[in-house]
Amino acid sequence: MSTIKAFVIAGTQSGCGKTSVSLGLMSSLARRGLAVQPFKCGPDFIDPGHHGQACARDGKPVPSHNLDGWMLDETINADIFNRYGTGCDVAVVEGVMGLFDGISGTRDEGSTAQIAKILGLPVILVVDARSMARSAAALVSGYANFDSDVNIAGVIFNRVGSENHADLLKEAMSLLPDVPVLGCLGRDEEIATPSRHLGLVTAEEEEPDSDRYQRLADWVESGLDIDALLEALPDTDILPPFEPVPGIGSVTIGVARDAAFCFYYEENLRLLREAGARLVEFSPIDDPRLPDNLDGLYIGGGYPELYAFELGQNNKLRREIKDFCDSGKPVYAECGGFMYLMSDIITQRGRYAMAGVFPFRAEMGQRFRALGYREVVTLGPGPVGDTGTTARGHEFHYSAIQTDADLTTTTTIYSMSGRKGPIHHPEGFLQGNTLGSYVHLHFGSCPGVAEAFVQACRDSVESE
């Protein structure tokens, strides 16, 4: 057993600046020479990409890992935290939404507070203090006393207008001596990460010479005493998890990874490797052909609509992927990857040909078409398991299958439910041995999914 410093950065609500504060803290700690391990509460893909850049070591991003109290049970969450926290100096967990927000108005499932309690970590609360003085203390008091099992170790006030404003906030907080003010950060809208319809612009789209993370570190250090913050936090015990003896990959799986396809849970990739896969990355935007000797394909989500022209122009690779799917080898595609395997993507700029595996079109909308946690149960065998396989994930997209599509031409194998119960529309599209879905599954919710996909690849090799 070893000990590290670890804490959760939570917000009073979405938009209070917790991502900027988290990235600034991560970058500040990393440039002090500390090994910083980032984590993200909830199903988000974009923030973890920025975490990796902010915590980079030796010029290489440090993968950030998702923790989620609804998709994953307590044991899996603790295992992920211990697995990747081992060997680091500081672990920083960025929260999701407001501290107590999750899938329910009465329970803490899916919330930042739930993860803080599971891991026994102190919480640093970020408060947007615009237009507040004494009221800020009332707000913090409510959060500090709402759940006695959540340890709020301090507060950071964001968007503070002046030194006088900071003094008023600190004076008000003297009424709450058990919740120290760790810092006051001034308004600086220029350092915020640009956003678009699905959230922030991805880390993959940052300019190579961007100094955004350093500027965020400077901003945080202008209002926080980082060394005093670390000193005030308790040590956290880390229990290294059991690690099986690594084997040589028995099958090779191609993973689509570039600016268009960058939404992957890092734990999904680890579980595939642990099940016996060798993962080889390729770019559907830039590569003229698939890597050699692939036994399966995994095409994750991302922003294919933004790169529809480039994807459509890569005719040779599109044809090769179509042939690969037609060969019967296992393919798993989710959300953006599913869109790429359709016949076309229709955006405001026009219609663009895709791989043509599924005989329908993805049409972009102005508002999201689906949002929320999902549980799926397979109604038949497929690349991710036999009938009755149950896994959890999340769905968030602005595209939909064009309404005039004839979905009866393709088998669907998912029964799906959300927060309010069953969701009655087709999902889990199976064409041969290619499975496409709008749902991003977290394999940690059912490790058998990774094992089944690797076994399907192995079976395909043996049948040749």
- 85 phi/psi in degrees, rounded to 5: -80, -25
In the chain, the amino acid numbered 331 is: V
The pair of three-digit structure tokens given for residue 206, joined into one six-digit string: 């940052």
Q: List the catalytic residue out of 16, 335, 446, 457.
A: 335
In the chain, the amino acid numbered 127 is: V
CA distance 86 to 84: 5
Numbers of helices and strands, H then E, in the chain: 13, 28
What angle is formed at CA 321 by the lines to CA 320 and CA 325, rounded to 5 degrees?
120
Is there a contact between 80 and 71 (Cβ–Cβ < 8 Å)?
Answer: no
The pair of three-digit structure tokens given for residue 426, joined into one six-digit string: 């087709």
- Sequential DSSP letters for 152-199: EEEEEEEEE--HHHHHHHHHHHTT-TTS-EEEEEE--GGGSPPEETTE
Number of Cβ atoms within 10 Å of the Cβ of 450 = 25
Determine if residue 372 is left, alpha or beta; phi over 0 gives left, psi from -120 to 50 gives alpha, anything else beta.
left
**Residue 335 is a catalytic residue:** yes
Alpha carbon separation from 180 to 175, 341, 375 (Å, rounded): 10, 53, 40
Partners of residue 257 on adjacent β-strands: none
Partners of residue 8 on adjacent β-strands: 93, 123
| Four-residue CA torsion sign, 98, 100, 103, 109 | positive
- Sequential DSSP letters for 300-324: -EE-GGGGHHHHHH-HHHHHHHHHH
Is there a contact between 153 and 125 (Cβ–Cβ < 8 Å)?
Answer: no
- How does DSSP classify residue 202? P
CA distance 171 to 123: 22
Query: Distance from CA of residue 463 to its chain's centroid?
Result: 36
- How does DSSP classify residue 60? B
Is there a contact between 429 and 358 (Cβ–Cβ < 8 Å)?
Answer: yes
Catalytic residues: 335
